[in-house]
A and B are shown apart, each in its own frame.
Chain A
């Protein structure tokens, strides 16, 4: 990611705003360089998922701009979507399809070459230990297997920007390790990854840069070292996070959440 200033950033978000019955995102600016592994942290209801859904093109922002590798998500959504993959916290697979059929369907949606798609599917299923289950319908899968199938679906078309909402919640240690390893591999291979997580240990180990979001705005951003300095707290990310998040609550308790 460090050597990418000549090309447009993987993600450029400016003054992003979205309100439902009350403001959910209140002016977020975000710049993520290509190949960067970015973690978006924040308490429940802070606006993380809403931000990611707007980036993925699932929600239309009330205001602001989103560019993915120089492509405007709002003006040219189809071109932007070709570059993006989105994995929600509760992956909704088609219960009556087998995992192979699911991958074939996604490959078709992204209009991939059939041979390349089949090759990628096989590699991903083997990598995620789903090969033996390739002819099983998703309805019989455990939570972890569904998450892995969704991840395989997200990666089959080799996205350049991978967006994951709480990808490790509810997974057992072995599956969580598999997912983390795969994400790290993809990041090393040049894929830009944004994830939200409540597991601070994961963010501490995996990501290059962390953004902390609260009440719909980014209150801190940087590497773990930078954030430690900023917060003036102890050594763990948990201390840093709590320090940063609790300070604005004390100051601005009247602001909307």
Chain B
């Protein structure tokens, strides 16, 4: 069927094509996606079987679980939505083209928002619907509601993301909006990760009662549980929830559409530098070579919030492991501190890649009368310096109770960081800072070697600690 040019469907097709192309969904990826979907269905089977065997939970517990799940889903979607909204409305740069066309501006914004909601829905559905499919087959028909709840939540998340994006734009301007949106998204993502650790925290009886006591005192009639009630009550109330989200979404486009258009047009001209009218200060340069080399690298890292948030997220993803190790130790030694070797090692490697391999202006450095060895040394130092306080942290924290363990962790973490940083100086994988997340995409072996190095240093530390306790 041929879609009529300029129609809403045609515009939606264009938006989704842009999304899939930016996500680089190629034929090979499509096969991976299908395999992942099949695997998720397979994983869902034993879970469904276990659910079937489990005793029926109380309505209050069900409401709490539903509320937490809905909140987690919403937070995750907002975290993704915020970055997508800022990119699609303020930074992609094609709004000028679309708005200069004879299409109705409100339709353009409406379709773009709908496309964002659809992409959010795709991403969440990918993880949730395979489980829903299997659970329904096992007789949990309530899971049919997932086919309404996920699109509804994606529309709500898109609405909230767009409103936050617009608010940030009005308060902070275009350039800062992007930065703050990325930081906010990272913080929301971090909260989601921490929320995911609730089961680990609840393993201990004391923690469980501490955490659940305020929740158990809440009335089930509380407004907080209203969405959970709607989802739980029946298909009609779920449909009502879906319709409410659609209404919010439509209302947002109707009421704020013009403002989005205005903000988008303004953002096109806001990135340009403007003259500053500060006092005519004179310069005080410091041209000591090592000083300026290190300062330049630290400035470039410190002023790149996108990079910082990605670095932060990389560490946040280690948190589940931390919680698991925290729960496991039974011999008196705080083994969870070993995880700092993983966190610092990963961060050191990432920073070394940024400073050594992702140099923005290699030609400038190559034409400078400075030897390569000096440049590499300074860049490695710049990568490791920010980690120094964290390396001595275990030593300081453990010096009273476990001084030897603290010292060993500090030494092994230092060794791990230096080892990984030197790998980048001897075997750099050139790239651009913007490609930080995908730096090992075509080089999976490198990330495996990196992991092996980290495991090696953590094992050395564990072994030496164990030996010291034995002898």
Contacts and interface: CB of A to CB of B under 8 A. Distances in A.
Contacts of B287: 104, 107-108, 111-114, 117
B369 A82 contact: yes
Interface in B284-339: 284-289, 291-293, 296, 299-300, 303-304
Contact of A109 (B284, B289, B299): B289
B285 A92 contact: no
B303 A104 contact: no
A96 B304 contact: yes
Given A78-B371, A134-B276, A92 B296 contact: no
A217 to B, nearest CB: 25
Contact of A97 (B175, B299, B362): B299
A140 B300 contact: no
Contacts of A56: 367
Nearest to B293: A108
B424 to A, nearest CB: 19
A96 B363 contact: no
A79 B370 CA distance: 10
Contact of B366 (A58, A105, A121, A141): A58
Given A105-B292, A132-B276, A136-B276, A122 B366 contact: no
B248 to A, nearest CB: 36
20 contacts: A81-B368, A84-B367, A85-B367, A92-B362, A94-B360, A101-B296, A106-B368, A107-B285, A108-B287, A109-B369, A111-B287, A114-B284, A114-B285, A118-B285, A122-B283, A132-B276, A134-B276, A135-B276, A136-B275, A137-B303
Contacts of A92: 360-364
Contacts of B276: 132-136
A97 B367 CA distance: 19
Nearest to B360: A94
B277 A58 contact: no
Contacts of B288: 108
A112 B285 CA distance: 10
A79 B369 contact: yes
A238 interface: no
Residue of A104, A106, A107, A135 most packed against chain B (CB within 10 A): A104
A89 B274 CA distance: 24
B273 interface: yes
A96 B299 contact: yes
B278 interface: yes
Contacts of A95: 360
B272 A142 contact: yes
B385 interface: no
Interface of A: 56-58, 78-79, 81-82, 84-86, 88, 92-97, 100-101, 104-115, 117-118, 121-122, 132-137, 139-142, 145, 153
A211 B164 CA distance: 59
B364 A140 contact: no
B271 interface: yes
B42 interface: no
Contacts of A109: 289, 292, 364-365, 368-370
Contact of B285 (A94, A96, A121): A121
A107 B275 CA distance: 24
B299 A110 contact: no
B176 to A, nearest CB: 13
Given A109-B369, A122-B283, A137-B303, 15 more contacts: A58-B366, A81-B369, A108-B286, A108-B288, A109-B289, A114-B284, A114-B285, A118-B284, A132-B276, A133-B276, A136-B274, A137-B273, A140-B271, A142-B272, A153-B364
B401 interface: no
A226 to B, nearest CB: 32
B282 interface: yes
Contacts of A100: 283
Given A92-B360, A97-B300, A105-B292, A81 B367 contact: yes
A85 B368 CA distance: 8
Grouping DSSP codes into helix (H, G, I), strand (E, B) and loop, the B interface class, with mixed when no group exceeds half, is: loop
A93 B368 CA distance: 14
Given A101-B299, A137-B273, A121 B283 contact: yes
A232 B288 CA distance: 56
A104 B271 CA distance: 24
Contact of A58 (B274, B293, B367, B371): B367
Closest 5 CB pairs of A and B: A108-B292, A140-B273, A132-B275, A118-B283, A109-B368
A246 B276 CA distance: 51
Nearest to A96: B303
Contacts of B300: 94, 96-97
A101 B303 CA distance: 13
Interface string B348-384: 0000000000001111111111110000000000000
B369 A88 contact: no
A110 B273 contact: no
B262 to A, nearest CB: 21
Nearest to B302: A96
Nearest to B270: A140
Contacts of B296: 94, 97, 101, 105
A6 to B, nearest CB: 26
Contacts of B275: 132-133, 136
A136 B365 CA distance: 22
B229 to A, nearest CB: 49
A205 B43 CA distance: 75
A105 B298 CA distance: 13
Nearest to A135: B276
A145 to B, nearest CB: 7
Nearest to B284: A118
Contacts of A139: 271
B377 to A, nearest CB: 14
Contact of A108 (B283, B289, B361): B289
Contacts of B291: 108
Contacts of B366: 57-58
A109 B286 CA distance: 11
Contacts of A114: 284-287
A114 B272 CA distance: 30
Nearest to A85: B367
Nearest to B280: A131
Contacts of A105: 292, 296
Contacts of A81: 367-369
Nearest to B271: A140
